[in-house]
Amino acid sequence: MIIDPQQVPTERNTNYPEEFKALVAGRIRQRLGNFAGLKNFGVNLVKLEPGSYSALRHWHSHQDELIYVLEGELTLITDAGAEILTPGIAAGFPAGEANGHHLVNRSSSVAIYLEIGDRTPNDQVTFPDIKNFLTAASPDGKSRKFIHHDGTPY
């Protein structure tokens, strides 16, 4: 299936709890993988406005992730610190590697990147900067809920 990104809806929504929504308010995604009907992995074309985060810093128990910068400058923040990513640079995050990561647009221009991840069921996402906060995916991998480490709802 050929995909014209101009035909793919944009979305700014997030399922983060209210107190974290402003951090990702400048993230505009187009779900190319969903548009194409892909079932095993997702591909998002993401525009990140200045000052915005791609996500809260996190790592996945079961899902792999890869990002590829197309335009602009992004700061990748991991447990090792901050690194500048420019067009043509990619970064991968293997499942189960407890290295929290996210992108921040610290520049004055919109940055664009591809975000690719698999849809392995039973994934758990850990947020190392937020005490007692994580997500658990449904067994089918299609939905997530935010919970405390003890399993109670956030």
Identify the sign of the CA torsion 118, 4, 55, 86: positive
| Contact of 25 with 12, CB cutoff 8 Å | yes
Q: Give the global pTM.
A: 0.89
pLDDT (tens digit, 0 to 9) for every residue of the chain, 154 residues total?
899 999 999 999 998 888 899 999 999 999 999 999 999 999 999 999 999 999 999 999 999 999 999 999 999 999 999 999 999 999 999 999 999 999 999 999 999 999 999 988 888 888 888 876 767 555 555 566 777 667 777 7
Give the 3-state secondary structure of residue 2.
coil
Cβ-Cβ contacts under 8 Å for 84 (sequence gap 6 or more):
73, 74, 75, 76
Domains assigned to the chain: 5-122 (2.60.120.10)
